[in-house]
């Protein structure tokens, strides 16, 4: 699919949508399943990033290309470092070669790993020669990406002496680290986290375990946005639970600001627009939930609400520089946005321009975050297929709830 023109949506139809499983949970569990084959995964994500991860783990080739999948790149770097008798070139898309990985590579090398840069120092591709790692203490900076820390935690219980991991400085995207630890705990691996030190004991085998992946909360954000932009709307999303291990479940709280009420059912959530009067200014720190920043900015823009979002420094090194992409695309629609390296200030907008073509920059979340604005104006989404990175059936599901 190239450009997708979305006519103005008249209203939301009270539909029911089953979103694919969490890509973050799935990509962790796929790694763990290699170490513990008696782990069974249900409701796994069908995202490109999870398929790429699965194929990489099953591949017999000595060159693996993981495309745009950041978690796969980071988790596989750690995985192949401990896979004895393997020699792999791990590479990715043009953008992946710009996404930094030095902090993780340095940490693994300090544990004894054999990793070399194939092109530019600090960036993929990597040549990884797998070996047994016997050291058990590592210090790592935590403010660039939590994925480096999760990568180390995923291999930790397979190390002969387990792992003590100490953070230097602040830590970003903390709920993703907690998700990794909670999944380890669910399969019977104990951990402790005191101050800036996480300890994981070695665990060569586990008892048989089945984990049902909850549906993806970051993907749910696009329905929260649709609901916020459509008075009286109601949407039900299945395979969600009240006690989620996904940090983006914070959406339920955040969208209360826009009048969206969440009711938790047995295995689902129902979003209802309660038509409260709009707030004038939303101030939010999204350091714990970076993946929903684009959705929130687009919702605010659609509602004409000013917002000041902080804690966004990791957005610069994701699928694209999401701060620049948001500013560029919102300004094409008639908005005014100021950005720094970690903040976004959306000024109160007057009117939204019609039939604007939104560039997506190989970023699934640009496509999905801007689509709900069709409730306000007809809009064009360029390269609409990008959604498959995390949510392949997004456009089919979008049609179910829109008229
Ligand atoms: O561990 C994970 O599954 C993820 C961690 C976050 O990355 P950062 O820690 O780099 O912010 C998030 O943005 C990404 O989509 C998924
Ligand atoms: C940043 C994301 O993914 P990754 O870092 O895994 O490429 C995302 O899905 O928004």
For 237-258, write each residue's pLDDT tens digit: 999 999 999 999 999 999 999 9
Question: Torsions phi, psi of 309, nearest 5?
Answer: -105, 130
Atom index in ligand 1 nearest the CA of residue 24 equals 3
Residue 312 CA to ligand 2 center (angstroms) comes to 14
Candidates 132, 190, 180; CA nearest to 153 is 180
Please tell me whether residues 374 and 326 are part of one structural domain. Answer: yes
pTM (predicted TM-score): 0.98
Run of H or E including 107: helix 102-110
Res. 125: pLDDT tops 70: yes
Please tell me whether residues 324 and 177 are part of one structural domain. Answer: no
Instruction: Average the pLDDT over each of 169-173, 208-212, 214-218, 277-281 and give the range with the smallest value.
Output: 277-281
Candidates 142, 147, 149, 195; CA nearest to 172 is 142
Please tell me whether residues 147 and 250 are part of one structural domain. Answer: no
Please tell me whether residues 43 and 163 are part of one structural domain. Answer: yes
Residue 15 DSSP SS3: coil
- Cβ–ligand 2 distance for 291 under 6 Å, the answer yes
Please tell me whether residues 246 and 204 are part of one structural domain. Answer: no
CATH (domain of 191): 3.65.10.10
Please tell me whether residues 259 and 281 are part of one structural domain. Answer: yes
The reported pLDDT for the residue numbered 275 is 80
Res. 1: pLDDT tops 70: no
- Cβ–ligand 2 distance for 144 under 6 Å, the answer no
Please tell me whether residues 53 and 86 are part of one structural domain. Answer: yes
pLDDT digits (tens, 9 = 90+) for 283-320: 999 999 999 999 999 999 999 999 999 999 999 999 99
Please tell me whether residues 64 and 136 are part of one structural domain. Answer: yes
- The whole domain housing 68 covers 23-212
Res. 65: pLDDT tops 90: yes
Mean pLDDT calculated for residue range 389-397? 98
DSSP 12: B
- Distances 370 to 106, 194, 231, 296, 345 between C-alpha atoms, Å: 38, 41, 18, 10, 17
Compute the mean pLDDT over every residue in the chain, rounded to the nearest whole number.
97
- Distances 194 to 5, 167, 197 between C-alpha atoms, Å: 51, 11, 5
Please tell me whether residues 367 and 309 are part of one structural domain. Answer: yes
Question: Which of 21, 291, 323 maximizes ligand 2 atoms within 8 Å of its Cβ, making it the mutation to test the pocket?
Answer: 291
Mean pLDDT calculated for residue range 80-97? 98
Q: How many domains is the chain built from?
A: 2
pLDDT band at 278 (very low <50, low <70, confident <90, very high): confident
Run of H or E including 5: strand 4-6
Q: Is 321 a catalytic residue?
A: no
Q: State which of 175, 195, 212 marks the end of a domain.
A: 212
DSSP string covering 324-385:
HHHHHHHHHTT--EEE-SS-EEEPPPS---SSEEE--TT-HHHHHHHGGGGGTS-EEETTGG
Residue identifier of the C-alpha nearest atom 7 of ligand 2: 70
Res. 381: pLDDT tops 70: yes
**Distance between CA atoms of residues 89 and 125, nearest Å:** 7
Please tell me whether residues 220 and 179 are part of one structural domain. Answer: no
pLDDT band at 348 (very low <50, low <70, confident <90, very high): confident
Atom index in ligand 1 nearest the CA of residue 314 equals 11
Q: Among the options 106, 291, 363, 383, which is catalytic?
A: 291
Q: State which of 157, 190, 212 marks the end of a domain.
A: 212
Please tell me whether residues 370 and 225 are part of one structural domain. Answer: yes
Please tell me whether residues 327 and 225 are part of one structural domain. Answer: yes
């Amino acid at each position: 699919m190239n450009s997708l023109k979305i006519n103005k949506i008249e209203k939301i139809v009270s539909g029911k949508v089953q979103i694919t499983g969490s890509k973050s949970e799935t990509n962790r569990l796929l790694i763990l399943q290699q170490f513990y084959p008696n782990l069974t995964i249900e409701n796994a994500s069908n995202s490109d990033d999870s398929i790429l991860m699965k194929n990489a783990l099953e591949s017999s080739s000595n060159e693996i290309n993981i495309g745009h999948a950041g978690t796969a790149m980071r988790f596989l770097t750690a995985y192949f470092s401990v896979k004895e008798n393997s020699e792999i070139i791990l590479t990715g898309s043009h953008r992946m070669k710009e996404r930094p990985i030095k902090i993780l590579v340095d940490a693994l090398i300090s544990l004894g790993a054999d990793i070399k840069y194939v092109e530019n120092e600090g960036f993929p591709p990597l040549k990884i020669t797998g070996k047994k790692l016997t050291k058990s203490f590592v210090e790592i900076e935590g403010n660039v990406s939590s994925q480096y820390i999760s990568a180390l935690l995923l291999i930790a219980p397979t190390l002969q002496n387990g792992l003590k991991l100490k953070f230097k400085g602040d830590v970003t995207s903390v709920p993703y680290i907690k998700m990794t630890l909670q999944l380890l705990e669910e399969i019977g691996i104990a951990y402790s986290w005191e101050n800036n030190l996480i300890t994981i004991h070695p665990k060569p085998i586990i008892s048989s375990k089945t984990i049902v992946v909850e549906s993806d909360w970051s993907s749910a954000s696009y329905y929260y946005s649709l609901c916020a932009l459509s008075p009286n709307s109601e949407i039900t999303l299945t395979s969600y639970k009240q006690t989620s291990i996904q940090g983006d479940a914070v959406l339920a709280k955040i969208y209360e600001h826009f009048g969206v009420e969440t009711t938790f059912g047995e295995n689902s959530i129902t979003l209802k627009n309660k038509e409260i009067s709009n707030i004038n200014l939303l101030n939010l720190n999204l350091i714990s939930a970076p993946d929903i920043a684009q959705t929130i900015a687009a919702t605010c823009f659609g509602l004409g609400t000013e917002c000041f979002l902080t804690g966004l420094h990791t957005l610069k090194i994701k699928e694209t520089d999401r701060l620049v992409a948001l500013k560029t695309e919102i300004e094409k629609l008639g908005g005014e946005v100021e950005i720094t390296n970690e903040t976004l200030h959306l000024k109160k907008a007057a009117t939204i321009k019609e039939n604007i073509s939104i560039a997506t920059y190989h970023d699934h979340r640009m496509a999905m975050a801007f689509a709900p604005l069709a409730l306000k104006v007809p809009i064009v989404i360029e390269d609409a297929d990008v959604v498959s990175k995390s949510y392949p059936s997004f456009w089919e599901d979008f049609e179910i709830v829109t008229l």
